[in-house]
Chains A and B, each alone.
Chain A
Amino acid sequence: MLAYLIRRLINAVVTLLVVTLVTFGVFFLVPKATGSDPALLYVGKQADPVAVEGIRTKLGLNDPIIVQYGKFLKGIVAGRDYSNGPDITHCSAPCLGYTFKTNQEVWPILIDALPVTISLAIGAAVLWVLMGVLFGVISALRRGSIWDRGVMTVALAGVSLPIYFTGLLALSIFVYGLKWLPNAEYTPFIDNPIKWFTGLILPWVTLAFLFAATYARLTRANMLETLGEDYIRTARAKGLRERTVIGKHGLRSGLTPLVTVFGLDVGALLGGAILTEAVFNLRGLGYWALQGIRQNDLPTILGVTLFAAFFIVIMNLIVDLLYGVIDPRVRLG
């Protein structure tokens, strides 16, 4: 078990390194190929050449890419100094550098944005798992009924709707039309739990609806497959109550595949629900990702990508470990 854990951890770290290296490479090489200069982005187009050269030295933009990448990694682990002769700026660990445009440290910006994204992702995840699994299981048990067809129709519509459309529809109906809900906004939970809840309920429901549709379809398909297995027939044949057959024997193996999908989805969302945050104007990681991209701000983009990859890798790890607990067939010695 320990050996497995260590191997998985090494694997996770390697994945993170590759993701950052790829991102770094893309943002280093593409501007070079297209002839734009990060130092110019930093100081503005009309800056005098001496200042630009100074910035270039200070940020280490003259170094080969691998050296720059090394410094970037070192910054995360141990902090780094940006120096240009006498002018030294220290950025303590974990350092993701400074934004090009506003010259702020990237790490605190992202840490501030994190609670927004986590609140959004977790709240929505709870809702969509409950709705998706419930509707999926009932559909599978009442296969072919009106209920099944209705749920599957709604679910099919759900997987075909983009959040940037349903989000706007939800806003115009529930916020501006019926005025049932306040506009989406983030209030820290500690400040005011009620406002936290009411401000996020609309993004939660909108986001959860789309995912619940996918999960209902998945759950139904998995349950139908499981219910067709011989051991379910055996369980019924030996006289178990239907509730035990479904609850104990059916659900367990029917829902196991969902765990993988769920882990990946939550991991991806934690790295920034870009579209949802854009529609509801929430300032989470996705918002900063978009800001960074619009302003060509390499440190911000790298930072968010790193966060996103981190969450995906971690969730993957958790899922794999959980699998051993819920599925005895893959239990590790």
Chain B
Amino acid sequence: MSLGPETSLHDETTPTADAAQERDPSEKAIAGRSLKQIAWRRLKKDRVAVGGGIVILVLILIAILAPLLIKLFGHPFDEYHNDKIDPTLGLPLGKLGGISGDYLLGVEPVNGRDIFSRIVYGAQTTLTVAFLSAFLSTILGVLFGMTAGFVGGWVDSIISRIMDFLLAFPQLLFSIALVSVLPQTMFGLNARWARSIVLICVIGFFGWPYIGRIVRGQTLSLREREFVEASRSLGARSPRILFREMLPNLAAPILVYTTLIIPTNILTEAALSFLGVGIPPPFPSWGGMLSDALQFYRYDPMFMIIPGAMIFITVLSFNLFGDGLRDALDPKAR
């Protein structure tokens, strides 16, 4: 910050600017609640967001309890059940794609694998990939975004240029290409988890500029605030200012955009699996199931509708929850 004639002017204007940026100052002043408490109260009142949150929790539970659920209600995900298939047509016996008490969501055409088990296992893969890639994007985005905003100068221009470049890059095409040339198994992992790791890295890497841009912008404005100056005049070094003073102030936008990047990641993972470069068969993924359904959807629509609906419900829940979280943390964005 420069000293001299501007300083007094700056000092005069900051309180008003501060008040505008402070989230709900009156409430804070009277009740003395933290932003976390305020946001939590607002979020609880937002029924749609709570609904989305509950669906997300249920999905996470399903993913964690997958082996148990399959033992109780399903059949192994790669077990063939030819007796459930009409031998001449190759389609499931019974109505609605073979839905019955034994096969809760019916069976696949031709080989009769249990769709319920495949959906449950698919939830595991989808959520793991979506969460971890969002986590990776966030870490990279925060790291680079804060560095760019805080250091400034040529570091900022290089990082900003890289972010612009990545945002203007044929991402899906490149992800498909990259994933397809990598081997299916590695690090001694089976194809399912080896591919999941590749997907996490690719999706996470292309996602970081979205968060990076926001963090950079916020860091730029935080850098000029008094508390940073105060901290520095007390002798704090840059790492302390960055992580102890500024990072807590960035928590809200980081949380919101991490939540909102998860549904995008789910769609990307499903798209890659749909195009045949995601989770390889016989391991189930929702996108892969839709891809299998391409051949059969005219005759067995349930086979297409079930994985499609799962993707839709999951993505919608994350969007609803993310929107609610944003409104709760930043009422201006409503």
Q: Footprint of B on A, CB under 8 Å?
A: 15, 18-19, 22-23, 26-27, 30-31, 34, 156-157, 159-162, 164-165, 168-169, 171-172, 176, 221, 264, 267-268, 271-272, 274-275, 278-279, 289-290, 293-294, 296, 301, 304-305, 308-309, 312-313, 316
Report whether A305 and B173 are in contact in the complex, using a CB–CB cutoff of 8 Å. Answer: yes
Besides A30-B181, A169-B305, A304-B173, 18 other A-B contacts (C-beta < 8 A): A19-B169, A23-B177, A26-B181, A27-B181, A31-B181, A156-B323, A161-B315, A162-B311, A164-B271, A164-B290, A169-B304, A290-B176, A293-B277, A305-B173, A308-B170, A309-B169, A309-B170, A312-B169
- Give the residue of A162, A279, A313 whose beta carbon is less than 8 angstroms from that of B270: A162
Choose one: B176, B274, B287; the contact of A293 (CB below 8 Å).
B176
Q: How far does the alpha carbon of A167 sit from the alpha carbon of B271 in the complex, in Å? A: 13
Partner pick for B312 among A22, A161, A172, A290, CB 8 A cutoff: A161
Minimum Cβ distance to chain A for residue B272 (Å): 10
A308 with B173: in contact, given A15-B165, A156-B316, A290-B275 (CB under 8 Å)? Answer: yes
State the CA gap A172–B296 with chains docked (Å): 11
Q: Are A271 and B168 in contact (CB under 8 A)?
A: no
Does B174 reach chain A (CB closer than 8 Å)?
Answer: yes
Of all chain B residues, which has the CB nearest A166? B308
B183 part of interface (Cβ distance < 8 Å):
yes
Chain B residues near A289 (CB, 8 Å)? 173, 176-177
Main secondary structure of the interface of B (DSSP, over half): helix
Interface residues on B, range: 35 or more
> Are A168 and B276 neighbours in the complex by a CB distance under 8 Å?
no
CB pair A157 B316 closer than 8 Å: yes
> Smallest Cβ distance from A313 to chain B, in angstroms?
7
Is B177 a contact partner of A301 (Cβ separation < 8 A)? yes
Contact A165 B312, beta carbon cutoff 8 Å: yes
The answer to whether B64 has its CB under 8 Å from any CB of chain A is no
Closest Cβ neighbor of B267 among chain A residues? A162
| B301 is an interface residue with CB less than 8 A from chain A | yes
Q: Which A-B residue pairs are the 6 nearest by beta carbons?
A: A165-B308, A308-B170, A160-B316, A160-B315, A30-B181, A293-B180
B168 CB contact (under 8 Å) in A30, A31, A304, A316: A316
Whether the pair B274, A164 counts as a contact (CB closer than 8 A) is yes
Residue of B165, B176, B263 ringed by the most chain A CB atoms within 10 A: B176
Q: CA separation between A267 and B274, bound complex, in Å?
A: 23
Q: Which residues of A contact B168 (CB under 8 A)?
A: 15, 264, 267, 312-313, 316
Interface of A is mostly: helix
Bound Cα distance A19, B170 (Å): 9
12 A-B pairs within 8 Å (CB atoms) are namely A34-B182, A156-B316, A162-B274, A168-B290, A168-B294, A176-B298, A274-B176, A278-B274, A289-B173, A293-B277, A294-B276, A308-B170
Chain A residues whose CB sits within 8 angstroms of the CB of B40 once the complex forms: none
CB pair A159 B177 closer than 8 Å: no
Taking CB atoms, residues of chain B closer than 8 Å to A268 are 170
- A168 cross-chain contacts in B, Cβ below 8 A: 290, 293-294, 297, 304, 308
Q: Is B320 in contact with chain A by the CB < 8 A criterion? A: yes
Q: How far apart sit A210 and B301, CA to CA, in the bound complex (Å)?
A: 22
A305 touches B170 (CB 8 A): yes
Q: Point out the residues of chain A lying under 8 angstroms from B178, CB to CB.
A: 26, 30
Which residues of B are found within 8 Å of A22, using beta-carbon distances? 174
**What A residues does B172 contact at CB under 8 A?**
274-275
| In the complex with contacts A26-B178, A27-B177, A156-B308 CB distance below 8 A | no
Whether B319 sits at the interface, judged by CB under 8 Å, is yes
Chain A: which residue is nearest B276 at the CB level?
A294
Instruction: Pick the most buried of A267, A268, A271, A313: most chain B CB atoms within 10 A of its CB.
Output: A268
Of A27, A156, A168, A289, which is in contact with the most chain B CB atoms at under 10 Å from its CB?
A168
Chain B residues with Cβ below 8 Å from A162 are 267, 270-271, 274, 308, 311-312, 315
Q: How far is the CA of A305 from the CA of B173 in the complex (A)?
A: 7
Residues of B within 8 A of A156 (CB): 316, 319-320, 323
Q: Which residue of chain B has the shortest Cβ distance to A293 in the bound complex?
A: B180
- Rounded to whole Å, the gap between the CB of A292 and the closest CB of chain B is 8
In the assembled complex, the Cα of A34 lies from the Cα of B180 at a distance in Å of 12
In the bound complex, what is the Cα–Cα distance between A157 and B305 (angstroms)? Answer: 16
- Complex Cα distance A301/B323, Å? 37
